[in-house]
Amino acid sequence: MATDLTEDDLTEIAHEALDTDDPGWAITELVAAVEEGRLADEADTSYAFGLAADLAEGARDGDRALALSRRAVDTAQNPSEENWSRGRHADLLMQFGHEDEGMRLLRELRPLLTRDGMATIYVVEALTENGHAELAVEWLTAALATASDIVERAEEDSDSAEEAQEIEYGLARKRRAVRRDLGLSPDELDLALDELDDDAPDIQTVFWPETAFGALLTAFPDRADVLGATWDEHRAQLERAFQEEGWLPVEVATPELLQAALADGDVIEVGAGPLLEWPPGRNDPCWCGSGTKYKKCCLPRAR
């Protein structure tokens, strides 16, 4: 009897297919796992279809990608998963010759920019990846104004105020990133965000690249409880934190920081490492340095 596939198993199948010339076998395996009832958790159905759609997209099989993406939307288990899947479907529609239909779907999702921190990925990336970066700036600017109004009206120190501030900050960061990609000079909003970044509190979180992570965990195995038992877990922890917070300051560990960490008690003065830029574009190299596209690397790790 075939073993039921966990979420990690599904992810591993998709990742293995990235190294092959033809991902068809993985698409077939992911779909079969659903149709044959071989998922350890039926809540992973939409995720499996989404992974298969991503692989079909990479193979430039538009009809198959769209069919699988549609199934991902139809089997979503909650509003967050459904909205993400709809954004992905809109992206694929625009990629494969259905521009008007894709734009209609994105317009339906547009109001979520002020309510869902992840909308800066699934809405804005669909626009920027399909030649509509200027429109993305327009939508982000309008959403930022609305989010700022929501922050002003929210009761101070309430959960709703904190959530609204996180969304406002995420919108501002994404707007600045898209404008930079367009080669635009910083405007007043960008400069205000730069000042806010400069005044940010001291960094409390560090991302350890793979080699440094291995060296640190070999020297201090007990730190696995904090850092993660594997580099995959370490990356997943950070991706989840990013998505939950909308963004947070994370320092990329330098060789000097690793040396200081391995010294274990010896005081070594180390300058701050570079800030980790998040989120990258879905089709850009992942923030973790793996070289794989973000959408196929750390983005799904937050599940």
Would you call the peptide bond into 279 cis, given omega within 30 degrees of 0 as the criterion? yes
Model confidence pLDDT, tens digit, residues 148-168: 999 888 877 677 778 888 889
At 101, is the secondary structure helix, strand, or coil?
Answer: helix
Task: Quickly tell me which residue has 């599904």 as its tokens.
Answer: 10
Model confidence pLDDT, tens digit, residues 66-87: 999 999 999 999 999 999 999 9
Contact status, residue 30 vs residue 14, Cβ threshold 8 Å: yes
pLDDT confidence bin for 264, thresholds 50/70/90: low
Q: Which residue has the higher pLDDT, 111 or 278?
A: 111
pTM summary value: 0.82
Determine the longest span between alpha carbons in the chain, in angstroms. 62
Q: What are phi and psi of 39, to 5 degrees?
A: -90, 135
| 99's tokens | 């521009």
Residue 205 parent element (H or E):
strand 205-207
pLDDT given for residue 218 in this prediction:
94
Residue 206 parent element (H or E):
strand 205-207
pLDDT given for residue 1 in this prediction:
42
Spatial distance between the Cα atoms of 3 and 196, rounded to a whole number of angstroms: 51
The mean pLDDT value for 129-151 works out to 96
Spatial distance between the Cα atoms of 189 and 36, rounded to a whole number of angstroms: 52
Taking residue 124's Cβ as centre, other Cβ atoms within 10 Å add up to 30
* Mean residue pLDDT across the chain: 89
Question: Which residues sit opposite 5 in a β-bridge?
Answer: 39
What is the 3 state secondary structure string of 216-255?
A: HHHHCHHHHHHHCCCHHHHHHHHHHHHHHHCCCCEEECCH
| 89's tokens | 């479907």
- Nearest CA among 153, 139, 143 for reference residue 103: 139
Alpha carbon 183 to its chain centroid, in Å, reads 23
Q: Which residue has the higher pLDDT, 155 or 128?
A: 128
> What CA–CA distances, in Å, run from 209 to 111, 119, 203, 212, 239?
36, 27, 17, 5, 14
| Sequence ranges of the domains in the chain | 113-199, 201-303
Strands (DSSP E) along 60-204, which ranges?
A: none
pLDDT given for residue 268 in this prediction:
55
Spatial distance between the Cα atoms of 222 and 80, rounded to a whole number of angstroms: 35
In this structure, the dihedral spanned by the alpha carbons of residues 132, 134, 137 and 143, taken in order and rounded to 10 degrees, is -70
